[in-house]
């Protein structure tokens, strides 16, 4: 049973857009890694930006953004942003749940 719990924790850690970035970070080229780091550090704003805005923020081409999305197994930037938004929504739900739990102490 313990192995199943560890596997579930591992799956949760590497699911979603941010998890995929962390899982594949070691295999990213320097330019893709710069985009990935930007997305992780600025996820709250990146999720609302266009591909052009992200590319300009990082100093890369739109094609580089698309290459990262495809490397992470997303059809394109739009699909990646949907997954990123889901990550952020899940993080906010977890924060709210932990705040409610702390309030019950």
**Domain positions in the chain:** 2-103
Cα separation, 63 vs 29, in Å, equals: 14
Q: How far is CA 76 from CA 24, 71, 85, in A?
A: 17, 10, 14
User: What architecture does CATH give domain 2-103?
Assistant: Orthogonal Bundle (1.10)
Handedness of CA 45, 47, 52, 54 (dihedral sign): positive
pLDDT digit string (tens) for the chain, length 105 residues? 333 333 333 334 557 899 999 999 999 999 999 999 999 999 999 999 999 999 999 999 999 999 999 999 999 999 999 999 999 987 655 554 555 565 555
Which of 74, 79, 88 is CA-nearest to residue 44? 88
């Amino acid at each position: 049973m313990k192995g199943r719990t560890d596997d579930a924790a591992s799956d949760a850690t590497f699911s979603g857009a941010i998890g995929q970035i962390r899982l594949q970070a070691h295999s990213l080229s320097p330019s893709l890694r710069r985009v990935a780091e930007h997305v992780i550090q600025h996820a709250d704003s990146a999720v609302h930006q266009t591909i052009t805005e992200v590319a300009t923020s990082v100093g890369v081409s739109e094609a580089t953004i698309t290459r990262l999305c495809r490397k992470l197994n997303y059809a394109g930037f739009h699909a990646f942003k949907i997954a990123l938004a889901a990550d952020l929504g899940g993080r906010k739900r977890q924060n709210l749940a932990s705040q409610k739990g702390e309030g019950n102490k």
